[in-house]
Amino acid sequence: MKVELEKSYRLLRFLNKPRHKMIRYPLAFLAGVGVLTVGAPMSVAKDSMQLAARSNGLKIVVRRAIWFVHTGWVPVAIRSDFFFDISEKMSEKASHDLLAWLETNTRISDFERHVWQADLHGGVLENRVSQPMNGVDARKEKASRELLLTPQDSLWDTDQAFVGSVNAALEAITVMLATPSADTRPTHTFQKAGESFDKADAYQTISDYRSLMESIKWPWYVISGTLLGAVREKDFLGHDYDIDIGIDEDVFDIQVLRDAVAASVNTWFIKSESYCTFREVESKDKVRYSQLEQPILVKLVHCSGLVADLFVHVRDGNILWHGSAIHRWDNSSFTLAEYPLGDETVHGASDADRYLTENYGDWRTPVTSFDCSIDPPNIRYSRTARSVTYLSKVIYRYLLDGENERARVYLNALVSDGMIVSTHNGYRYQ
């Protein structure tokens, strides 16, 4: 049976909300048992139990459980979470055990096996880059955010396995492009019921965010979909799931933010910090992994369960760009002006027409479907190890739906951006 799930705002709020440890620990035990029951290796179940016991780990473990329903013994194929990175917050021991488990898995497609193996290899490498060396504080020393690999290093084989897995996934995509696929549409779709974004909570979240920023004297502004709502609707968009906020790189300091969040008396907690980990081939025997010293995206969770995505904006000449470990969106430099946002007043780009046109094209006309990975006119890709696997999954998803031309648009974009190269018989990761 093929099942399609849509995001549920209420479920996301439930999973995001901070909980007392007396509640987290029983939920962590149930989560670990649940992951094990649907087919996970024991080391992954133990890893999941430990993760779910942390204040920001339950959502990841639930996504793992959904992933194992799709890949394990349960006779259900779930097409809702292809874009989940199974390596997220996973220990190295669990990652290696899961790599072996995938190798012998007969339920999944060749593409799925290879792209998820690439995720796991890439996760091991990214974790090593993130680890401080020789006891040095990774926030203060750039050297501790780099990893130079040669054939003599123990992680060289992991890097080569990562590249091989990505290329095998691209080969599977090439085969699918040449071969019409069978009908893979889901047999049942579980849809969300109407608009479930709670605007009252959103107004309170904005108010509490203002207090948080005032405590550290950081200027901030709303961006992307939140600014679109403020300009076009003078309110939040009804289909929003989170709030998009910007901060300039020259004032941002992750430790200052961590301290402010810790002092917010259970109003906020940090769900995740996203760092860009870049892979650069310097020669046939030398590969360098490097990571930005500061996160490019911080996901803050309000006590209501609503998420505020804090994007650090980096100045590059006359361009201000923001993004994640996957995407990068470029905007012309802008000054700020005030905008009404429901019950609140916020700042955003003063030339809203130019900013929103750069992001959305015809922003005045509401659309029912917008793909943030390909539709924005100002989209670029972060050229990170994580981005190539994520975007390959997007292409695969379009191929499953028979949208081959849409898949080709993505492939051409990746070629144009230099992430992959087109060869006479397919595509290859650089």
Specify which residues 353 forms β-bridges with.
none
Owner of token pair 């955003």: 348
The type of residue at 348 is: G
**H helix or E strand, kind and range, residue 149:** strand 146-149
* CA 372 – CA 387 distance, rounded (Å): 14
Query: Tens of pLDDT along the chain (430 residues)?
Result: 565 555 555 555 565 666 666 777 887 888 889 889 988 999 999 999 998 888 777 878 888 888 898 888 887 777 656 678 899 889 999 999 999 999 999 989 999 999 999 999 999 999 888 875 434 444 444 434 788 999 999 999 999 999 999 999 999 999 999 886 655 555 544 444 445 567 888 999 999 999 999 999 999 999 999 999 999 999 998 777 789 999 999 999 999 999 999 999 889 989 889 888 889 999 999 999 998 888 999 999 898 888 899 999 999 999 999 998 888 899 999 999 999 999 899 999 999 999 999 999 999 998 877 777 788 899 888 778 888 999 999 899 889 888 899 899 889 988 988 889 999 889 999 7
Task: Give the burial class of 82: count Cβ atoms within 10 A of its Cβ; 0-12 exposed, 13-18 middle, 19 or more buried.
Answer: middle
Report the chain's C-alpha Rg in angstroms. 22
For the chain, domain boundaries: 199-381
Q: What is the pTM of this model?
A: 0.83
Give the CATH number of domain 199-381; options: 3.30.460, 2.60.120, 3.30.1450, 3.40.50: 3.30.460
Q: What is the DSSP string of 166-209?
A: HHHHHHHHHHHHHSPPP----SEEE---S----HHHHHHHHHHH
Residue 61 token pair: 């473990």
Give the list of residues 6+ apart from residue 213 with CB closer than 8 angstroms, or none.
Answer: 219, 220
Specify which residues 297 forms β-bridges with.
274, 311
Per DSSP, which regions of 292-392 are E strands?
A: 297-302, 307-316, 319-323, 327-332, 336-341, 344-349, 379-381
Task: Give the burial class of 312: count Cβ atoms within 10 A of its Cβ; 0-12 exposed, 13-18 middle, 19 or more buried.
Answer: buried
Strands 77-78 vs 2-5: parallel, antiparallel or unpaired: parallel
Strands 426-429 vs 221-222: parallel, antiparallel or unpaired: unpaired
Tell me which DSSP letter residue 220 carries: -
Could you tell me which of 296, 299, 289 has the C-alpha nearest to residue 133? Answer: 289
- Residue 313: count other Cβ atoms within 10 Å of its Cβ: 22
Residue 92 token pair: 């190295």
Handedness of CA 230, 232, 235, 237 (dihedral sign): negative
